[in-house]
Structure 1
């Protein structure tokens, strides 16, 4: 049941593209530059980590998750210190 509550569908990720906001960038990541993106789908807030392959002109989704309120600010855009 816990996994079902955490599930973020491909539809949610793709349909929320208008709400994307880059909140962290990792230009020197091991394989490709990557970005942590804040997004919303209906009433669900989630983060998507993507790697950008500029040379081949594609974006790869690494992971998507619902941010933990204990680790993120109230707006889920900044990590708590």
Structure 2
């Protein structure tokens, strides 16, 4: 499946010092932690993966018709907003 980066993702990755190798590593090592089935034009999900020891959350959607995985955004989860394993949001 080909990775396609939305302009928003590229901008945010640059701001957050996340590169395409980081995203690839995180997508290879991680798991889906939330589903967004009502997103359009394709259902998306939140993925937790790691680039080395760095946790990353990636939001992506799969366009299976064109064999594309569309990266919407990527960020390092904030420990104040997530439980220690970064799979569930902390209750505030």
Normalising by the residue count of structure 1, what TM-score does the alignment of the two structures yield? 0.85
Q: Given the alignment of the two structures, is residue 58 of structure 1 paired with residue 68 of structure 2, yes or no?
A: yes
Decide whether aligned partners of structure 1 residues 5 and 61 sit closer, same or farther in structure 2, where only a CA change above 3 A counts: closer
Higher-RCO chain (CA-CA 8 Å, sequence separation at least 6): 2
Extract unaligned runs of 5+ from structure 1: none
The runs of 5 or more residues in structure 2 that have no matched partner are 1-12
**Structure 1 residues 70-79 or 48-57, which shifts more?**
48-57
CA RMSD, Structure 1 to Structure 2 (Å): 1.9
Which residue of 30, 33, 56 corresponds with 2:43? Answer: 33
| Count of equivalent residues | 79
Structure 2 CA distance, aligned partners of 1:79 and 1:33?
A: 20
After the TM superposition, list the runs of 4 or more consecutive aligned residues in structure 1 that deviate by more than 3 angstroms: none
